[in-house]
A and B are shown apart, each in its own frame.
Chain A
Amino acid sequence: MFDVLSRMMRTGILSESPEASLDDLQKGIYRTVGRALAIRQLDAGSCNGCELEIQALNNPYYNLEGQGIHFVASPRHADLLLVTGPVSVNMEGALLRTFNAMPDPKLVVAVGACGACGGIFGRSYACRGAVANVIPVDVTVSGCPPEPRKILEGIFEALRAKGSSVTEG
């Protein structure tokens, strides 16, 4: 136990504040979804590179939960779907079912070069290419893989776009 405490002391607080002011951000989230933002991540055939950077959002540097955003296990609990990969045909059905299971506002952010445009895999017998070819997409985040901060910006952008069309109260 002493080791754990000493390790915590030595590590200190690593969290960095996001570019946008935390206050504005949390107000934006509240305006759009009425509470903390729940995200469901779905790998639709990614090479797993994007998953590594999405996982990094939960590390102490980006501290996603500290900003009122958390990942959930079911699409039925999710406000926003974060999709990676060039939509392999073997995942097409699962992607559609996941999207259909979500309640409104059904925000979708396509992450990575593959999700944005099919990436190096493109369209073929095995891939449908961009996520937008299969479900409606609000925001795309390019990069291979995109850095965590870029992914975060994409999430904020989707919130802002939706928030501006929702009136408060």
Chain B
Amino acid sequence: MSTDFSLPTEDAVPSNLPIARISVTAAEWLSTTAWLHAENARLLSLWGTDDRDRDGCFRIYGVWLLPKRVILLEHRILDTAQACYPGVADLFPAAAKMQRAVHDLLGVAPDTGDPRGWLRHDGWPETVFPLRRDFNGASEFAVAPKPYPFVQVQGDGVHEIAVGPVHAGIIEPGHFRFSVVGEKVLRLEERLGYTHKGVAKRFQHLPQLDGHRLAARVSGDSAVAYSWAWCAALEPLCETVCPPRAASLRALALEHERLANHLGDLGALGNDAGFAFGLTQFSGLKEALLRVNAEIFGARYLMDYVVPGGVVREVPGHAVSRLCSFYDQLEPSVAQMRSIYDEHAGMQDRFRQTGRLEQPVAERLGALGMVARASGISCDLRRDLPWTPYDRLPVRVATQANGDVAARVQVRFDEIAGSLELCRHLVGDLPAGPVQNPMTAASPNLLGVGIIEGWRGPVMIALETGSDGAIRWAHAHDPSWQNWPLLERAILGNIVPDFPLINKSFNLSYSGQDG
């Protein structure tokens, strides 16, 4: 691709990040996505909307991350009877599942690609497309289950192991189909969508000021990231500015969310490697953090803490001293546990070279977030495209070269240290002033995007207002979309009993992907 490729006209999108919106024809969609591929852009999200009632078309949107900015492509499909667009999964493999989901929900298909349903599991008829405006979201259908055509592996001694959707633990549902010889995995095919809750349709029926609550529940372990992304998309449309104190408190809550999840994962990883002491210790540290959350932010899990206009409440007077003394206790405890993990030969034997995701594969398949960083890709929007207050914080990006379970463990340890450093900066320099500004009504017919680097990777909310200023549609995206297919790669050649360990080292969201 020549470097003198000129992009069609672009507009700035209201957002917390620099985003350019480009409207393209089908031909331009092809040439622009080819250019994005040549520029090593990473696909963040792809979705569609039904705008037949407004201007007689369907729209397909795609968001790509470039090193210094974000591109939002918008393609109008005028032939609504045919409802087809050029697929991009050949260039961006991460698009494959998203394109299947768009077809399930909207009935708009790519010109090539896997025709199997993804989110639709025969819970509603094949001819019903929930995101079409003429579909009533309250309609209910009986489930009519049909077998799902998994790809079969054939050969001497090959057999299949089917796992799920109900797993043998306190975790979310999904189906894994392993094709194995002996105990070695030849192929893993995931089937997800079991927790599909119709979030996109639900957004259209909720009052505008309840949207952030639903966003927080797209994936409960990333509630702060999602509710902040919702606010970052909505606030610019209302010309409401989050006060500086609230921005710092949002960042503090986001870093606490990162700490809580990493602490939980490190304990579970120790347990999956047969070291129950690790689980006991880290789950105790996580519990201590959740109790601090309850004391300072008013809840253990911050489902409704970030609200449009700021945060829901002021922190108590003793917050700064309480938080500083807590960080002073947590840091040496984690450091001691790190040295125990590092020096435990049995555990390192399980971690090293297990579930390797090599950098070229991670890049080719479009890895995001913590998983990408453990495969040598230095990406973190908090550093690369910092929004307030990250633009004044020393964000250190933790990377590891090896891409194995051990690397994902090390990245988590490094990120706990990094988050604690950011927390100390935030607490030590908390701006004065209000924690919430009043929300005004959103302007009509505007599109906003919020992108927040959560603990798992970038989460996104895109939304558009209608002619009355109400939410016309909203789309939520979880980085698990990109990273689930990577797990199918990382397991290859490993043994079945290592799958729980490898799966936990990714710790992807089922609910966030299923929507």
Is A48's CB under 8 angstroms from B220's CB?
A: yes
With A125-B140, A147-B300 as contacts: A91 and B194 at CB distance below 8 Å? yes
With A52-B264, A74-B168 as contacts: A90 and B121 at CB distance below 8 Å? yes
Is A52's CB under 8 angstroms from B221's CB?
A: yes
Is B280's CB under 8 angstroms from A49's CB?
A: no
With A47-B218, A89-B143 as contacts: A60 and B283 at CB distance below 8 Å? yes
Task: Report chain A residues within 8 Å CB of B431.
Answer: none
Is B123's CB under 8 angstroms from A89's CB?
A: yes
- The stretch from B27-35, B196-204, B416-424 touching chain A is B196-204
- Interface presence of B284 (CB below 8 A): yes
Task: Report chain A residues within 8 Å CB of B303.
Answer: 49, 144-145
Is A126's CB under 8 angstroms from B194's CB?
A: no
Q: Which of B191-241 contact A (CB under 8 A)?
A: 193-199, 201-202, 206, 210, 213-214, 217-221, 223
Is B217's CB under 8 angstroms from A47's CB?
A: yes
Contact pick for A7, options B139, B196, B337, B511, CB 8 Å: B337
With A3-B340, A61-B284 as contacts: A48 and B202 at CB distance below 8 Å? no
A58-100 to B contact mask, C-beta < 8 Å, 1/0: 1111000000000101100000000001101111111000100
Is A126's CB under 8 angstroms from B280's CB?
A: no
A5-22 to B contact mask, C-beta < 8 Å, 1/0: 001100100100000000
CA distance A48 to B169 in the complex (A): 13
Count A/B pairs, Cβ under 8 Å: 173
- Interface presence of A50 (CB below 8 A): yes
CA distance A56 to B193 in the complex (A): 26
With A46-B172, A48-B221 as contacts: A125 and B137 at CB distance below 8 Å? yes
Is A126's CB under 8 angstroms from B196's CB?
A: yes
CB distance from A103 to the nearest CB of B (A): 17
CB distance from A10 to the nearest CB of B (A): 8
Is A121's CB under 8 angstroms from B277's CB?
A: no
With A4-B340, A14-B284, A43-B173 as contacts: A94 and B166 at CB distance below 8 Å? yes
Of chain B, the residue at the smallest CB distance from A42 is: B166
Is A85's CB under 8 angstroms from B195's CB?
A: yes
- Interface presence of A132 (CB below 8 A): no
B-side interface residues, number (CB < 8 Å): 61
Kindly name the residue among A44, A47, A145 whose own CB sees the greatest number of chain B CB atoms within 10 A.
Answer: A47
- Interface presence of B170 (CB below 8 A): yes
CA distance A52 to B402 in the complex (A): 29
Task: Report chain B residues within 8 Å CB of A90.
Answer: 121, 123, 193-196, 514
CB distance from A18 to the nearest CB of B (A): 15
- Interface presence of B287 (CB below 8 A): yes
CA distance A63 to B434 in the complex (A): 41
- Interface presence of B165 (CB below 8 A): yes
- Interface presence of A55 (CB below 8 A): yes
Contact pick for A124, options B171, B198, B277, B300, CB 8 Å: B198
- Interface presence of B150 (CB below 8 A): no
- Interface presence of B387 (CB below 8 A): no
Is B283's CB under 8 angstroms from A59's CB?
A: yes
Task: Report chain A residues within 8 Å CB of B290.
Answer: 56
CA distance A45 to B139 in the complex (A): 19
CA distance A125 to B135 in the complex (A): 10
Task: Report chain A residues within 8 Å CB of B221.
Answer: 48-49, 52
- Interface presence of B138 (CB below 8 A): yes
CA distance A60 to B345 in the complex (A): 25
Q: Which of B364-389 contact A (CB under 8 A)?
A: none
Is A91's CB under 8 angstroms from B168's CB?
A: no
With A52-B301, A73-B169, A94-B166 as contacts: A88 and B223 at CB distance below 8 Å? no
Of chain A, the residue at the smallest CB distance from B303 is: A144
CB distance from B289 to the nearest CB of A (A): 11
Is B171's CB under 8 angstroms from A43's CB?
A: yes
CB distance from A1 to the nearest CB of B (A): 9
- Interface presence of A32 (CB below 8 A): no
Q: Which of B430-481 contact A (CB under 8 A)?
A: none
- Interface presence of B145 (CB below 8 A): yes
- Interface presence of A123 (CB below 8 A): yes
With A86-B197, A121-B202, A145-B220 as contacts: A61 and B287 at CB distance below 8 Å? yes
- Interface presence of B82 (CB below 8 A): no
With A45-B195, A92-B123 as contacts: A125 and B277 at CB distance below 8 Å? no
Q: Which of B319-376 contact A (CB under 8 A)?
A: 336-337, 339-340, 343
A111-139 to B contact mask, C-beta < 8 Å, 1/0: 00000000111111111100000000000
Of chain A, the residue at the smallest CB distance from B337 is: A7
- Interface presence of A51 (CB below 8 A): yes
Task: Report chain A residues within 8 Å CB of B213.
Answer: 120
Task: Report chain A residues within 8 Å CB of B223.
Answer: 49
Is A11's CB under 8 angstroms from B197's CB?
A: no
A sample of 23 inter-chain contacts (CB < 8 A) reads A7-B281, A7-B336, A45-B197, A47-B217, A48-B172, A49-B220, A52-B221, A54-B170, A55-B170, A56-B283, A59-B280, A61-B284, A85-B195, A89-B141, A89-B143, A91-B165, A121-B197, A124-B138, A124-B197, A124-B201, A125-B123, A125-B139, A126-B197
Q: A91-B195, A145-B303 are in contact. List 14 more A-B contacts (CB 8 A).
A: A7-B336, A44-B173, A45-B195, A47-B218, A49-B220, A56-B287, A89-B123, A90-B514, A94-B165, A121-B217, A124-B138, A125-B135, A125-B137, A126-B197
